[in-house]
Structure 1
Amino acid sequence: MKKILFLFLSMWFNYTVFAQQKTFAITQFGAVADAKTVNTAAIQKAVDACNANGGGMVYVPAGTFITGTFHLKSNVNLYLENGAVLKGSPNLKDYDSYTPPIYGLTYYGMLYTTNASNVSITGQGTIDGNNQVFHDFTQAKKIDANTTRFSRQKDNYRKVSSGVGDGPVVPNKDRPHQMVVFSGCTNVQVRNVSLLNSPFWTMHFADCDAVLVTGIRLWSGLLIPNADGIDVTSSSNVTITDCDIRAGDDALAIVGYDHHFEIPGFTGKKHVSENIIIANCNLQSYSSAIRIGFLDQNTVRNVHVSNVNITNSTRGIGIFVRDEGSLENITFSNMYIETKLRTGDWWGNGEPIHISAIRGKENVKLGQIKNVKFSNITCKGENGMLVYGTDESIIDDISFNGINFELTDSKLNDVAGGNIDLRGVMGEKNQIFQRDIPALLIDHAKNISINDFKLTWTNPRMPYYTHGIEAENFQNLRITNFSGGASPINKQAARIYLGQGQGFTTDDPKGVVRQK
């Protein structure tokens, strides 16, 4: 009886809240669901009326509504009914535009919301960016010859045997940019909706505080260049949970943006990204499934990732310092990562885990990567894992605990294997270059702990596969409970190979080779 009464009261409460919420259906303001009428003005009128009346719900009923750029406002919940589709106009003139000094004429995407609070997108409906009309799906975007000339394969690097291969396809000269943007907003929620076919980044949170993204399906298109899933720049207190994200470019990107050029509507602040939780998600990306840091970078800290599956991706986890600003206090736990080599102009080269700190910009003090923890990670990859620092930015305090790594052969080894991809750095020789590949390479790092690391090699056939673990220019390296060895086809390789460095300890010195 008590249970029945509780359910009744709960249903009554939810009904009362819904009934009290002011509802503004876009059809009441002239929107037409005929998949051809441009409804931008009607949708904006509904948003403006909702905001002017103290807030409530802007209701999108079932049907396909074409739209250009519109702007949400404070206290507005954009609710998409099951079967509702907001679809991006194929005409660029229907999108707002601006002209930054570096890039020239640029078009906004579909939703651009600035300086709002208590704003949300919810429901079971869909936002569709209509990327099919802004790309040429008959051509693959290729890497330029200067970038590939230091690779093992030279001009043959990532060559497509037929068609567009793994893409990316070629974008039109002009296309709408970020499909959904929240800039300078507080208390933002995106729940349960589908975000599909973005022509550029799908969803961008810039200078926001208190963000929740949960239960969404975000499929931007695996062949689309620059079609990131969710980008978080200079934002704090962000939670992303229970999402299915399949993106051509980075599925999740977390950076502390420095706003080196002005974009209308952006608040222009320069501050950290911090206090970010990512949990219970399925991710796919033809670039990095999770990217933290890069160029134009301020500090990122306190990022915690757990219970995430990464599959069908070119790079699993990528942590990059290329600019000022450090990356610190980052944890990854209870994850499965599966990575592959690709054809075409994607960044990444099959690494399950990639950590690197190398200069990408002149005249800045390079930041540092420190205090990064990996625990209970199972990986299957077509390239080795990488911890790659430099003299001016030594990677500090990295731990691997409970790692199970299967390094497997790839059908694309002949056109892509045996290389390291550090793109975004200065110097052509540092972009993509050939190198022998150990299962785990550590270079210019200190205070590294590796415990309970199980390594297996599956059908290796390339002579450039070498050591189980290789460490160069290290300080204070500890390896315990390591199960595995060198590549079984390379008789010169070592289970553990140590170059220049100091402070090495292990519980099993068998198979350790130290450079003299």
Structure 2
Amino acid sequence: MLKLFFLLSALVLSASAALAQTYSVRAYGAVADGRTVATAAIQKAVDACTKAGGGTVEVPAGTYLIGTVFLKSNVTLHLDNGAVLKGSPNLTDYHAYTLPQYGQNYYGMLFTENAENVAITGEGTVDGNNQAFYDFTQAKTIDSVTTRYTRQKNNYRHVASGIGDGPVVPKDRPRQMVVFSVCKNVTVSNVSLINSPFWTLHFADCNDVRLTGIRLYSGLLVPNADGVDFTSCSNVTVSDCDIQAGDDALVVVGYDHHFEIPGYRNLRHVSENFVITNCNLQSASSGIRIGFLDQNTVRNVTVSNCNITNSTRGINISLRDEGSLENLTFDNIRIETKLRTGDWWGNGEPIHISAIRGNADKSVKMGRIKNVRFNNITCRGENGILLYGTAESPLEDVEFHNLTFDFTDSPLNGVAGGNVDLRGNLDPKFGLFARDIPGLLAEHINGLTVDNFKLNWVGTKASFLSNGLEVNHFTNLRIRDFQGAGAPGNAKAQPILLHDGTGAVVDGKVRKAK
């Protein structure tokens, strides 16, 4: 019996040792000179590791030029301190795929699908080499069709010289830099992800994901260079990350329509059970975006103890399609937003919630945004807080508790101020359009609570600024302890303006809407 015990113990230890084996990419021929393409050598190391039952593929210090490498189950890709995987500037080094409507495209640097127990760890760097795929001397501009309803018309976000805030002009480029598709038990920790030519890190239809301690800098001038995108994922923790992205920094959506890109065909649709905490976020678009087009339900998301700074939008909750965005909680968040030049979405709103149809198929029923809670939020921004439902999809049960907002003057008011950005909907008149701006504007909302809201107008002079708190087309409104006034310099501005609604109680007293 004792012999059997020792034999079984030896077998377990032997199996554990096999799983713990380390496979150095150098041993498989990878050259770290930054010039020799090392894709095949690194792939050999990954294949050997997974064939043996799993372990660690080690990337020692040095710069390795690669195209597309496919990670697999039970493999940890570990980047040593000083190790750099750098994207090849040659598109033919990346794995190509073809879509009928888009033609030939290319995967990015690291692609993993239908895998489990997979990780990227270490103090090293994945560098997408976006300098090879953009013209950094030219900026994209917004066309006159898009700007025709703005306050400034053709002068909207105009830059007299140079590229302003970008975005710079893309060339042909690889797609998502790092992808996990239909994977279980995924960890990405501590690595740096920089200079992505497209979305930086994409989790599609994944379950049990841990993202911690990463440094992600895609470049604030680079369009489409999202930070981290979660599409149809469940049971996710994001913590202690520093993300600075040219497009949305952190995205959670639940796609309802299947991708046709290989590896994206089995989406479960719903995204649920997210915890996001202790992160610093910057974006030329939204710091955090939840929902948008091609959408199904996102639910049970908790965000806490985060800083969103130097962003065009802070928190963006947008619905344009079916499904719902529900049970969303934001606690102890600092938000700083500003107006920008160039073709970026968003217009300086610290908080943006909108539900307006973007799906032209009228048989598709619009979803709902409901049960959204904001607690202990401090904002500083160059445009107002926006809650914009529609008669077809009114917002439901939105609460603010302990909200402070410093509404500041902007040097870009002349070229960008006094507008609302609801792009992605069907009616261009309500895409990007001129409107007087209150401190907080709510349209078509059933169940709004504003409890302890302090609004400060800081150096503001623009004539388009209006009321402190404005609510239109509502039911069941509760306002308590609002500390603020209408915009200074506007004699018609009111502290609180209510229109077309029922069930309003302000500081314990029933108040009728006009």
- TM-score, length basis structure 1: 0.95
Please tell me whether the aligned partners of residues 295 and 321 of structure 2 are also in contact (alpha carbons under 8 angstroms).
yes
The correspondence for 1:192, drawn from 190, 193, 196, is: 190
SS of 1:176 mapped into structure 2: coil
* Residue in structure 1 matched with residue 35 of structure 2 by the alignment: 36
State the identity %: 64
CA distance in 1, matches of 2:93, 2:208: 31
* Residue in structure 2 matched with residue 77 of structure 1 by the alignment: 76
CA distance in 2, matches of 1:341, 1:279: 26
Per-residue deviation, 1:329: 0.2
The alignment covers a number of residue pairs equal to: 497
* Residue in structure 1 matched with residue 385 of structure 2 by the alignment: 385
CA distance in 2, matches of 1:86, 1:236: 29
* Residue in structure 2 matched with residue 65 of structure 1 by the alignment: 64
CA distance in 1, matches of 2:44, 2:201: 23
Q: What whole-Å deviation, never above 9, does each CA across 1:268-301 have from its counterpart, x for those lacking one?
A: 2342000011100000000000000000111100
Q: Within 5 A, what are the aligned runs for 1:286-325?
A: 286-325=284-323
The correspondence for 1:180, drawn from 160, 168, 178, is: 178
CA distance in 2, matches of 1:514, 1:493: 16
Per-residue deviation, 1:161: 2.1
* Residue in structure 2 matched with residue 95 of structure 1 by the alignment: 94
CA distance in 2, matches of 1:122, 1:68: 19
* Residue in structure 2 matched with residue 235 of structure 1 by the alignment: 233
Instruction: Summarize the Cα distance change of 1:405–1:513 in structure 2 as closer, same or farther, 3 Å threshold.
Output: farther
Q: Within 5 A, what are the aligned runs for 1:422-501?
A: 422-501=422-501
* Residue in structure 1 matched with residue 11 of structure 2 by the alignment: none
CA distance in 2, matches of 1:158, 1:123: 41
* Residue in structure 2 matched with residue 375 of structure 1 by the alignment: 375
Please tell me whether the aligned partners of residues 59 and 78 of structure 2 are also in contact (alpha carbons under 8 angstroms).
yes
SS of 1:464 mapped into structure 2: coil
Please tell me whether the aligned partners of residues 209 and 237 of structure 2 are also in contact (alpha carbons under 8 angstroms).
yes
CA distance in 1, matches of 2:513, 2:421: 26
* Residue in structure 2 matched with residue 247 of structure 1 by the alignment: 245
Please tell me whether the aligned partners of residues 76 and 118 of structure 1 are also in contact (alpha carbons under 8 angstroms).
yes
Please tell me whether the aligned partners of residues 461 and 488 of structure 2 are also in contact (alpha carbons under 8 angstroms).
no
Per-residue deviation, 1:101: 2.6
Per-residue deviation, 1:258: 2.1
CA distance in 1, matches of 2:194, 2:509: 52
* Residue in structure 2 matched with residue 359 of structure 1 by the alignment: 357
Amino acid at match of 2:25: I
* TM-align CA RMSD: 1.4
CA distance in 2, matches of 1:137, 1:276: 36
Unaligned runs of 5+ in 1: 1-16
Q: What whole-Å deviation, never above 9, does each CA across 1:115-140 have from its counterpart, x for those lacking one?
A: 00000000000000000010000100
SS of 1:36 mapped into structure 2: strand
* Residue in structure 1 matched with residue 7 of structure 2 by the alignment: none
Is 1:122 the equivalent of 2:121? yes
Amino acid at match of 1:98: Y
Please tell me whether the aligned partners of residues 283 and 309 of structure 1 are also in contact (alpha carbons under 8 angstroms).
yes
Instruction: Summarize the Cα distance change of 1:514–1:259 in structure 2 as closer, same or farther, 3 Å threshold.
Output: closer
CA distance in 2, matches of 1:18, 1:178: 34
* Residue in structure 2 matched with residue 339 of structure 1 by the alignment: 337
SS of 2:145 mapped into structure 1: helix
SS of 2:49 mapped into structure 1: helix
Is 1:149 the equivalent of 2:148? yes
Per-residue deviation, 1:110: 0.2
* Residue in structure 2 matched with residue 412 of structure 1 by the alignment: 412
Per-residue deviation, 1:509: 6.8
CA distance in 2, matches of 1:253, 1:100: 25
Amino acid at match of 1:277: V
CA distance in 1, matches of 2:428, 2:265: 35
Instruction: Summarize the Cα distance change of 1:216–1:247 in structure 2 as closer, same or farther, 3 Å threshold.
Output: same
* Residue in structure 1 matched with residue 218 of structure 2 by the alignment: 220
Amino acid at match of 1:103: Y
Please tell me whether the aligned partners of residues 453 and 483 of structure 1 are also in contact (alpha carbons under 8 angstroms).
yes
Amino acid at match of 1:408: T
Moved more, 238-247 or 500-509: 500-509
Please tell me whether the aligned partners of residues 501 and 513 of structure 2 are also in contact (alpha carbons under 8 angstroms).
no
